[in-house]
């Protein structure tokens, strides 16, 4: 029996949405700090207006739909899916008012791309954009993808721990929740903030080393640390990381992205002294082995085709792009168009594959995730073994992810459902993009980038691209960030509720 | 009078691309065609990175960026770097374009041999929109006071503070 959302259910969802927006209204004031610091006082109204509007909506929702009822899983899934949309919509106001984007749709695209940690950009002239607006764009990635602001706000403002537990599941971060969710949330925030501070410090030093003036190096360091750890990929410059023309800066950014792509629980295990976990964890093994394999393939192709001859070029262009794709970061060190013009199609497909595979579960990265890939590979190997064993033989396998777990059919089914839905969306997105007249290889690349929240582009994502394609990619980014099922639950619940009204 | 007429006739020329200057867009879209060729590019300086052996100037030409590698003496002419508050110096650079520069880790770049500032950068005035500021402050204060009023009326804690705490 399928559930239908009643008026009472919507009350619970909208009430909690209101509470969440209360916290966000204050978060939207944070860019005031760089606005004052860099004397960009003309940008102040954008943030006051956004914050005020958010506060009014939050107050309206939490006052009008006030309820004492507790959240259930269905409410949490719908809440998370709605929260992502509404937050992106509200966050687009400063970008629109500040003329960072040429239309309101572009501003919505930009903020959704930021909040989902994608990094595909429609910003018109990033080099002449106010620093406060850059701070807003980069902070969105850190909050949306780096710390999961929806969970944080529910943990801070929610009345019960259960609401946060359920929101964790909606945000596709259900694993490894510790007995106290508030503690876990603090832990996630603490880890993210520590890596952010370390990253900002190292990137600032790297920026100064590469020859930037300390002021620019510090601001860029903060921005790139927000987006590097969040595997987001936004940059304050139209050249992205190519602005720095230096390997040291690229290496620091790459390390930060790899850290962001690893499981929060792994960070916790390492911080609490369980160093063996990194060698035993199935997910880590799959992540590093697929990265190594695809890096080798990329390097061989680039070298074999004579595209880059030196080791430095192969590393800074080939390996960097591949790691940026696999961690779903989206920083780039070659102009997007050169992926199509200089690199062969086979490499575009390898990059698309690495984007689809993605980083680790419960991390800031997107994609199908290494844990699911590992589970599916193990299950595939088992099925291959089966015909060669006696019929009476009972075969099974285990995988290690924080603890040893049996490879049950439920686990395999769960991984297969998510992987299949990703692939279905990938093919649909590719078909739609190709229908707009782009090549199939380019369409696959751009779709994989939007769906896995990567942000690399081969030139399709541009303010001049058709509005239909912008909406398609927005849908893909939203569904990709919430691992498809959360959004499907909301859409099905909406359809069933509407169906009942029609009856 | 003659001088004024001449000035009026010559002024529009400043806004035309320099004769022989190749748009950066063309270099990015057809890198192999221009690889290793000596040519002239023109653009606004939006970034400057001082390295030991030279200087990187990041140029922006009609939204298309390009890294220009030049000697320190050449880069000295550049005074204003473009950002939110400034339009950077517009320079015309003659040199060699590399689609995949061997010297700089395979990066597409431009090695300058000659650099000329064709138009000096300047500060941009960004006046405050007072109407928007008033409206935004009004909206913010309205939101804040409504939220506080409703919470206090219900005697709900707000960020951990209840009416009893005061």
Per residue in B75-88, pLDDT (tens digit) is: 999 999 999 999 99
What mean pLDDT comes out for the span A457-477? 95
Could you give the CA distance from residue A414 to residue A405 in angstroms, rounded to a whole number?
14
What fold does the segment set B14-123 form as a domain?
A: OB fold (Dihydrolipoamide Acetyltransferase, E2P) (2.40.50)
Beta carbons of A114 and A31 less than 8 angstroms apart: no
Q: Buried b vs exposed e over A223-250: b needs ≥16 C-beta within 10 Å? A: bbbbbbbbbbbbbbbbbbbbbbbbbebb
What is the predicted pLDDT for the residue at A182?
Answer: 66
**Contacting B residues, span 54-93, partner chain A, CB-CB under 8 Å:** 55-56, 58, 60, 63, 65, 67, 69, 82-85
Q: A196 in contact with B at a CB cutoff of 8 Å?
A: no
What is the predicted pLDDT for the residue at A156?
Answer: 52
Q: Is the pLDDT of residue A11 over 80?
A: yes
What is the predicted pLDDT for the residue at A181?
Answer: 62
Instruction: Spell out the alpha helix ranges (H) of A345-408.
Output: 345-357, 370-385
What is the predicted pLDDT for the residue at A349?
Answer: 95
Q: Token match 């860019």: residue?
A: A31
Closest-CA distance of chain A to residue B106, Å: 5
Q: Return the percentage of chain A with pLDDT > 70, whole number.
A: 92
Q: Is the pLDDT of residue A161 over 90?
A: no
Q: Is the pLDDT of residue A490 over 60?
A: yes
At B15, the pLDDT band (50, 70, 90 cuts) reads very low
**Least trusted range by pLDDT, from A171-180, A191-200, A236-245, A490-499:** A171-180
Half-sphere exposure of A327 (CA within 13 A, CB side): 32
8 Å CB contact of A309 and B105? no
What's the pLDDT tens digit per position in A72-121?
A: 778 888 888 888 899 999 999 999 999 999 999 999 999 999 999 999 99
What is the DSSP-derived secondary structure letter of residue B91?
Answer: E
Residue of A nearest to B26 (CA): A337
Closest-CA distance of chain A to residue B63, Å: 7
Residue A436, SS3 per DSSP:
coil
What is the predicted pLDDT for the residue at B164?
Answer: 47
What is the predicted pLDDT for the residue at B166?
Answer: 40
8 Å CB contact of B65 and A238? yes
Could you give the CA distance from residue A342 to residue A331 in angstroms, rounded to a whole number?
18
Q: B11 in contact with A at a CB cutoff of 8 Å?
A: no
Could you give the CA distance from residue A456 to residue A324 in angstroms, rounded to a whole number?
8
Closest-CA distance of chain B to residue A337, Å: 7
Beta carbons of B108 and B62 less than 8 angstroms apart: no
At A178, the pLDDT band (50, 70, 90 cuts) reads low
Beta carbons of A263 and A360 less than 8 angstroms apart: yes
Q: Is the pLDDT of residue A458 over 80?
A: yes
Closest CA to B28 of A346, A236, A244, A336: A336
Could you give the CA distance from residue A76 to residue B80 in angstroms, rounded to a whole number?
52
Report pTM: 0.90
What is the predicted pLDDT for the residue at A198?
Answer: 96
What mean pLDDT comes out for the span A270-296? 90
Contact list in B for residue A211 (CB cut-off 8 A) is 49-51, 55-56
Is the ipTM value over 0.90, yes or no? no
Closest-CA distance of chain B to residue A196, Å: 24
8 Å CB contact of B83 and A309? no
- Mean pLDDT, chain B, integer: 86
Closest-CA distance of chain B to residue A463, Å: 12
Q: Higher model confidence: residue A238 or residue B152?
A: A238
Question: Looking at the partner chain, which of B58, B84, B100 has a beta carbon nearest the beta carbon of A131?
Answer: B84
Residue B96 tokens, joined: 């060699």
Q: Which residues pair with residue A399 across a beta bridge?
A: A405
What mean pLDDT comes out for the span B119-133? 94
Q: Is the pLDDT of residue A304 over 60?
A: yes
What string of H, E and C letters represents the secondary structure of A203-222?
A: HHHHHHHCCCCHHHHHHHHH
8 Å CB contact of A335 and B107? no
What's the pLDDT tens digit per position in B84-107?
A: 999 999 999 999 999 999 999 999
**Contacting A residues, span 100-159, partner chain B, CB-CB under 8 Å:** 124-125, 127-131
8 Å CB contact of B108 and A42? no
What is the predicted pLDDT for the residue at B18?
Answer: 47
**Least trusted range by pLDDT, from A106-110, A252-256, A269-273, A336-340:** A269-273
At A495, the pLDDT band (50, 70, 90 cuts) reads confident
What mean pLDDT comes out for the span A194-213? 96
8 Å CB contact of A316 and B107? yes
What is the predicted pLDDT for the residue at A258?
Answer: 95
- Mean pLDDT, chain A, integer: 88
What is the DSSP-derived secondary structure letter of residue A233?
Answer: -
8 Å CB contact of A335 and B108? yes
Q: B123 in contact with A at a CB cutoff of 8 Å?
A: no
Closest-CA distance of chain A to residue B104, Å: 8
Between the CA atoms of A422, A116, A228 and A279, what dihedral angle is there, to the nearest 10 degrees?
-40
Helix (H), strand (E) counts: chain B: 5, 7
What is the predicted pLDDT for the residue at A167?
Answer: 55
Backbone angles phi, psi at A399, to 5 degrees: -135, 150
Closest-CA distance of chain A to residue B116, Å: 22
What is the predicted pLDDT for the residue at A180?
Answer: 60
Domain parsing of chain B, residue ranges: 14-123, 130-165
Residue of A nearest to B63 (CA): A125
Q: Is the pLDDT of residue A419 over 50?
A: yes
Q: B100 in contact with A at a CB cutoff of 8 Å?
A: yes
Output Rg (C-alpha) for chain A, integer angstroms: 22
Pick from B26, B32, B47, B156 the residue to mutate for testing the A interface (most A CBs within 10 Å). B47
At B163, the pLDDT band (50, 70, 90 cuts) reads very low
8 Å CB contact of B58 and A334? no
Could you give the CA distance from residue A58 to residue B147 in angstroms, rounded to a whole number?
8
Cβ within 8 Å of residue A216, ≥6 positions away:
A207, B47
Q: B47 in contact with A at a CB cutoff of 8 Å?
A: yes
Residue B95 tokens, joined: 């040199």
Q: Higher model confidence: residue A207 or residue A385?
A: A207
**Least trusted range by pLDDT, from A308-322, A333-347, B150-164:** B150-164
Q: Higher model confidence: residue A151 or residue A306?
A: A306
8 Å CB contact of B102 and A243? no
Residue A374 tokens, joined: 């590992």
Beta carbons of B69 and B110 less than 8 angstroms apart: yes
Q: A37 in contact with B at a CB cutoff of 8 Å?
A: no
What mean pLDDT comes out for the span A420-427? 94
**Least trusted range by pLDDT, from A145-154, A281-290, A292-301, B5-14:** B5-14
What is the predicted pLDDT for the residue at A27?
Answer: 92
What is the predicted pLDDT for the residue at B162?
Answer: 46
Contact list in A for residue B133 (CB cut-off 8 A) is 44-45, 48
Could you give the CA distance from residue A311 to residue A317 in angstroms, rounded to a whole number?
10
What is the predicted pLDDT for the residue at A177?
Answer: 47
Q: B141 in contact with A at a CB cutoff of 8 Å?
A: yes
Could you give the CA distance from residue A41 to residue A345 in angstroms, rounded to a whole number?
47
Q: Is the pLDDT of residue A206 over 80?
A: yes
Instruction: Give CA separation, A91 vs A96, A114, A210, in Å.
Output: 9, 9, 33
Residue A7 tokens, joined: 């008026």
Closest CA to A378 of A348, A405, A356: A405
What is the predicted pLDDT for the residue at A249?
Answer: 97
Helix axes A131-141, A73-97, angle to 10 degrees: 160
């Amino acid at each position: 029996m399928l559930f239908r959302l009643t008026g009472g259910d919507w009350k619970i969802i909208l009430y909690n949405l209101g509470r969440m927006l209360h916290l966000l209204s204050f978060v939207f004031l944070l860019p005031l700090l760089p606005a004052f610091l860099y004397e960009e006082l003309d940008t102040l109204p954008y943030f006051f207006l956004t914050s005020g509007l958010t506060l009014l909506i939050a107050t309206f929702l939490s006052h009008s739909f006030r309820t004492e009822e507790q959240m259930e899983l269905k409410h949490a899934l719908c809440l998370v899916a709605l929260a992502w949309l509404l937050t992106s919509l509200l966050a687009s106001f400063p970008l629109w008012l500040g003329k960072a984007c040429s239309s309101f749709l572009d501003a919505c695209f930009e903020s959704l791309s930021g909040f989902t940690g994608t990094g595909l950009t429609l910003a018109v002239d990033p080099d002449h954009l106010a620093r406060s607006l850059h701070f807003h764009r980069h902070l969105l990635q850190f909050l949306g993808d780096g710390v999961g602001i929806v969970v944080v706000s529910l943990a801070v403002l929610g009345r019960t721990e259960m609401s946060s537990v359920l929101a964790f599941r909606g945000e596709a971060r259900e694993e490894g929740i510790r007995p106290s969710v508030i503690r876990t949330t603090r832990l996630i925030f603490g880890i993210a903030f520590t890596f952010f501070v370390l990253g900002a410090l190292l990137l600032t030093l790297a920026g100064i080393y590469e020859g930037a003036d300390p002021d620019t190096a510090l601001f860029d360091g903060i921005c790139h640390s927000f987006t590097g750890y969040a595997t987001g990929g936004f940059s304050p410059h139209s050249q992205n990381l190519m602005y720095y023309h230096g390997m040291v800066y690229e290496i620091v950014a790459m390390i930060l992205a790899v850290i962001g792509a690893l499981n929060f629980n792994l960070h916790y295990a390492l911080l609490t002294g369980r160093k063996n976990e990194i060698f035993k964890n199935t997910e880590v093994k799959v992540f590093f082995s697929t990265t190594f394999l695809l890096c080798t393939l990329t390097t061989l192709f680039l070298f074999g085709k004579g595209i880059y001859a030196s080791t430095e070029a192969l590393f800074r262009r080939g390996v960097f792009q591949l790691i940026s794709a696999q961690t779903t970061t989206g920083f780039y060190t070659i102009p997007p168009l050169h992926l199509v013009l200089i690199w062969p199609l086979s490499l575009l497909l390898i990059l698309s594959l690495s984007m689809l595979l993605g980083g680790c579960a419960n991390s800031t990265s997107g994609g199908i995730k290494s844990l699911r890939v590992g589970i599916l590979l193990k299950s595939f190997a088992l099925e291959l073994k089966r015909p060669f064993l006696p019929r009476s033989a009972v075969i099974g396998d285990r995988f290690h992810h924080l603890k040893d777990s049996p490879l049950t059919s439920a686990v395999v089914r769960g991984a297969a459902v998510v992987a299949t839905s990703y692939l279905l969306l990938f093919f649909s997105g590719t078909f739609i993009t190709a229908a707009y007249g782009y090549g199939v290889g380019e369409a696959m690349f751009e779709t994989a980038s939007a769906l896995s929240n990567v942000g690399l582009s081969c030139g399709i994502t541009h303010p001049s691209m058709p509005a239909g394609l912008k909406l398609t990619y927005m849908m893909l980014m939203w569904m990709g960030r919430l691992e498809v099922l959360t959004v499907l639950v909301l859409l099905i619940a909406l359809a069933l509720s509407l169906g009942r009204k029609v009856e | 009078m003659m001088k004024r007429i001449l000035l009026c006739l010559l002024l529009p020329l400043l806004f035309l691309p320099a004769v022989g200057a190749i748009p950066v867009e063309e270099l990015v879209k057809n890198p192999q065609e221009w690889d290793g060729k000596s040519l002239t590019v023109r653009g606004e300086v939006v970034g400057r990175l001082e390295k030991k052996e030279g200087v990187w100037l990041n140029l922006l030409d009609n939204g298309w960026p390009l890294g220009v590698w030049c000697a320190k003496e050449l880069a000295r002419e550049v005074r204003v770097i473009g950002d939110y508050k400034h339009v950077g110096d517009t320079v015309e650079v003659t040199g060699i374009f590399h689609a995949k520069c061997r010297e700089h880790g395979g990066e597409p770049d431009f090695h300058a041999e000659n650099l000329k500032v064709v138009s000096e950068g300047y500060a941009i005035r960004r006046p405050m929109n007072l109407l928007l500021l008033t409206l935004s402050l009004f909206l913010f204060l309205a939101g804040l006071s409504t939220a506080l009023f409703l919470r206090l009326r219900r005697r709900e804690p707000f960020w951990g503070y209840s009416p009893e705490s005061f």
